[in-house]
Amino acid sequence: MIRSPMASANQRLLGKLLLLVLLMFVMAWGMIPLYRVICQVSGLNQVVSADTLAPATAATPPGRPIRLQLDAMVQAGLPWRVSPMADSVLGRTGEFIQLQYSLTNNSNQRVVGQAIPRYLPAEAAAYVKKLECFCFSQQVFQPGETRRFPVVLVIDRALPVHISRITLAYTVFDVPGQGG
Amino acid sequence: MAIADIAVSPLPSHQPHGWRRWLFATNHKDIGSLYLWFSFSMFLTGGVLALCIRAELFHPGMRFFRPELFNQLTTLHGLIMVFGAIMPAFTGLANWMLPLMLGAPDMAFARMNNWSFWLLPPAMAMLLLSFFVPGGAAAGGWTLYAPLSVQMGMGMDLTIFAIHILGISSIMGSINIIVTIFNLRAPGMHMMKMPMFAWASLITAYLIIAVMPVLAGAVTMLLTDRHFGTHFFNAAGGGDPVLYQHVFWFFGHPEVYIMALPAFGIVSQVIPSFARKPLFGYTSMVYATSSIGVLSFMVWAHHMFVTGMPATAQLFFMYATMLIAVPTGVKVFNWVATMWEGSMSFETPMLFAIGFLLLFTIGGLSGVTLSVAAVDVQLHGSYYVVAHFHYVLVAGALFSLFAAIYYWFPKMTGKMYCEGLGKLHFWWSLLWFNVTFFPMHFLGLAGMPRRIPDYALQFTTFNQIASIGAFMFGLGQLIFLYNILHALRAGKPAEQQPWEGAQTLEWQIPTPAPYHSFTEAPELEVFENGVIVTMHGGKHG
């Protein structure tokens, strides 16, 4: 069969349009890596990001004494007891500070809890860098179990000078559906 | 120019009969009619679902439906109206009218045209069937947001496959429209002279080709997340549900214009005909339509202002969205200027076109309100949004479709509908549309969220007003159905030229349009917007 010039023009345009369809379908899948790259480059949507101390330069102030007030509480109605091993600790900015917390499950059931830290003044939160903390993950306690947890942190030397006292307060919440 | 110049071809007219005529249809008029009847039946189906929604919302508290079923109703109402009613109706009109308006014998690919229609009924059947599978139909809203859509039962799988088929159907329909417009125009019908309806259909077809594959990609990813262990949108596996929203709305916003641009095209044909004046600013209309098409790809994230985008991105999408109001405003002012000092008469098509103009502008303004990121944070997911998009889709797309059907009905069928019933249909629809949807603005401003089966007591009165309006509006559509059926059976014969001011090519051929029209292309001299100055030759089979 001999194609009329019109029919072959139609076929050519059809081919181009089908190519466009294919390209757009590929583009839909291409949006996935593109989205990841954009989020990474722009720092958007990063749930976990590497944390660093401000780089030490000549302008960085020397270490200075800081008093850490320690506090802890429990969501109302939960069978937990949480207490710091000391009411307050004297440390220096730029140096490791180690604290201890004691957690007890007063119930006769297995419980799962999650501690959330809070800082006063809130401004200080950005300068307290924790290396080790029981708040990093959910904690499982057997009935009547008591455990001590170390908390290791560094306070950035870039801490504004008007802050000389930081309160670190933990609240423990239960994780529903995870208990015994 | 004289109609008598057109010789009727001596060849015997090939016109199949019975079910073969429809199942094996390759004639653009038959396929157009199939599309229009199918979309009308889907309009009634989606409408019944809407009335179920409004019945539940008549009183606070759980009355008729379980919350899960209510969510299925809102989801399927949206999907059916968008993919089953509005889009096929515009494709059907394009099928019917484009060859007549451009002087082409038929659509470019007649068999593909048959396929693009006959894929629709099975797809819609699958969608409706999903109500009866365990777990019921999709219930996450027509946007099928992850993670809900990753978790649901097999109704979601049926929905995903239905969307694949609907997508293939509308892509094939669009390819046909584009090739027909580019390659099959009669001599003299230049691109910058062809009717606005053809321009609007052309740009819409390009939008469909560009974004339907993206939707297909998005729902395919949902499918693999559900069954094949991928984690595109599953946060627990390192995916991101917000990513789904980006992919979806990259499709979803051009989709809004897929449902609006053909309406602009129809109104640009109807208003000049009844104002008895050429369309004001034809060239600017073409460029406005094109720029709306281009801009529609750059604004998708205005649906996502509450997902935690950075302020810079919010500002970009906010200003880009506001920018769309400029070409849209150009069009609105052009229509008003077309009517200015025109010798207007108010037959039903013109009434629907003016109704469109008024109400679509209201919907456009509430859209500009929503585009303000700071305001949208308050209004997102509220009934204000429901009010907004029903003003642009019901009073916009649907009213323009009514205008088109009344306008072209005499040419399609050779019968005249009852003008009195048509006017009643218009005024009835206008009144009850506003009773239904205007109170929803206030419900939204007062904080009523959308997609809920129950609500706080203080919203009762306005919900009752809206429900009464919805039932009356739905009842009014039976006037339309009766008018059409009655006219088909016992309508007065239509004149060759029922509208004094209509001057485009489809009015230059006999009424009703011959089964095979323009088997030989005419020689045309065309003014802007498809207005025929002279026509020579042109044969009908």
Spatial separation of the C-alpha atoms in residues B350 and B426, rounded to whole Å: 10
CA distance A25 to chain B (A): 5
pLDDT (tens digit, 9 = 90+) per residue, B258-305?
Answer: 999 999 999 999 999 999 999 999 999 999 999 999 999 999 999 999
pLDDT at B13: 55
Which residues of B fall within a CB distance of 8 Å from A20? 209-210
Domain of residue B516 covers: 3-357+399-423+484-539
The confidence score (pLDDT) of residue B238 equals: 81
Active site residue B255: yes
Is B435 within a domain? no
Ranges A63-77, A124-138, B390-404, most confident: B390-404
Note if B500 is an active site residue.
no
Please tell me whether the peptide bond between B147 and the residue prior to it is cis, using omega within 30 degrees of 0: yes
Mean pLDDT calculated for residue range A138-156: 91
Best A22, A32, A36, A48 residue to mutate vs chain B (most B CBs within 10 Å): A32
| C-beta of residue B540 within 8 angstroms of C-beta of residue B516 | yes
Q: Give how far A50 is from chain B: nearest CA, Å.
A: 18
Nearest CB to B183 within list A10, A20, A28: A10
- Nearest chain A residue (CA) to B164: A25
Q: What is the pTM of this model?
A: 0.84
Across residues B388-413, what is the average pLDDT?
96
Q: Which of A11, A25, A48 to mutate to test the interface with B (most CBs of B within 10 A)?
A: A25
Pairing state of beta strands A111-120 and A139-141?
A: antiparallel
CA distance B322 to B324: 5
**Residues in chain B within 8 Å Cβ distance of A45:** 240, 242
- How does residue B6 score in pLDDT terms, banded at 50, 70 and 90? very low
User: pLDDT tens digits, residue range B295-332?
Assistant: 999 999 999 999 988 889 999 999 999 999 999 999 99
- Burial class of residue B176, CB neighbours in 10 A (0-12, 13-18, 19+): buried
Distance CA B500, CA B491 (A): 20
Q: List C-alpha distances in Å: B97 to B106, B136, B156, B384, B536.
A: 10, 39, 36, 36, 20
- The rounded percent of chain A whose pLDDT value lies above 90 is 45
B263/chain A closest Cα distance in angstroms: 24
Residue B131, domain member (yes or no): yes
Window B:176-205, CB contacts with A under 8 Å: 178-179, 182-184
Marked catalytic residue, from B28, B331, B451, B516: B331
Q: Looking at the domain assignment, is residue B9 inside a domain?
A: yes
> Does a structural domain hold residue B100?
yes
Q: Within 13 Å, how many C-alpha atoms sit on residue A36's CB side?
A: 8
Q: Would you state the pLDDT for residue A48?
A: 66
What's the whole-number mean pLDDT along residues B221-250?
Answer: 91
The distance of A44 to chain B (nearest Cα, Å) reads 8
Tokens coding A24: 């757009």
Q: What is the pLDDT of residue B41?
A: 97
Cβ–Cβ gap A28/B216 under 8 Å: yes
Q: Which residues of A touch B250 (CB under 8 A)?
A: 28, 31
Q: Do B183 and A29 touch (CB under 8 A)?
A: no
B227 is catalytic: no
Touching check for B168 and chain A: CB below 8 Å?
no
The answer to whether the CB atoms of B243 and A35 lie below 8 A apart is yes
- HSE at residue B328, side-chain half, CA atoms within 13 A, is 25
- What pLDDT band is residue B92 in, cutting at 50, 70 and 90? very high
Report if residue B365 sits inside a domain. no
Mean pLDDT, residues B406-431 taken together: 96
Q: What's the rounded Cα separation, in Å, for the pair A112 and A179?
A: 6
- Is-catalytic flag, B199? no
Q: What is the pLDDT of residue B91?
A: 97
Residue B421: the pLDDT is: 97
Residue B501: which CATH number? Answer: 1.20.210.10
Task: Tell me the ipTM for this assembly.
Answer: 0.88
B331 carries an active-site annotation: yes
Produce one character per residue of A30-40: b if its CB has 16 or more CB atoms within 10 Å, e if not.
ebbeebeeeee
Q: Which of A14, A24, A32 sits opposite B213 (nearest CB)?
A: A24
In a domain, B183, yes or no: yes
Position A180 scores a pLDDT of 45
- For B248, name the nearest residue in chain A, comparing CA atoms only: A28
> CB neighbours of B96 closer than 8 A, spacing ≥ 6?
B28, B29, B32, B33, B36, B408, B412
Q: Do B207 and B258 form a contact (C-beta atoms < 8 A)? A: yes
pLDDT at A178 over 60: no
Taking the C-alpha atoms of residue A99 and residue A84, their distance in angstroms, rounded to an integer, is 8
Span A83-109, pLDDT tens digits: 999 999 999 988 899 999 999 999 888
B463-487 mean pLDDT: 97
Residue B440 lies in a domain: no
CA-CA-CA-CA dihedral for B117, B510, B406, B16, to nearest 10: -30
**pLDDT reported for residue A6:** 79
Q: Mutate which of A24, A35, A42 to disrupt the B interface (most B C-beta within 10 Å)? A: A24
How far apart (Å, rounded) are the C-alpha atoms in residues A44 and B302? 18
List pLDDT tens digits, range B57-68.
Answer: 999 998 899 999
Q: Does position B5 have pLDDT exceeding 50, yes or no? A: no
B210-233 pLDDT tens trace: 999 999 999 999 999 999 989 999
Does residue B494 lie in a domain region? Answer: yes
Helix (H) or strand (E) holding B361: helix B348-371
The pLDDT value recorded for residue B7 is 44
> Which residues are CB-neighbours of B534 under 8 A, at least 6 positions away?
B1, B524, B525
Size of the A and B interface in Cβ pairs below 8 Å: 66
Known catalytic residue: B303? yes
- Among B108, B175, B214, beta carbon nearest to A27: B214
Contacts of B174 in chain A (CB under 8 A): 17
How many helices and strands, by DSSP H and E, does chain B display? 19, 4
Nearest to B147 by CA among B135, B158, B156, B159: B156
Backbone angles phi, psi at B374, to 5 degrees: -65, -35
Look at chain B and report how many structural domains it folds into. 1
Tally Cβ neighbours within 10 Å of residue B171.
Answer: 23
- As a whole number, the mean pLDDT across chain B is 94
Give me the pLDDT at residue B9, please: 45
Model pLDDT for residues B99-145, shown as the tens digit of each residue: 999 999 999 999 999 999 999 999 999 999 999 999 999 999 999 99
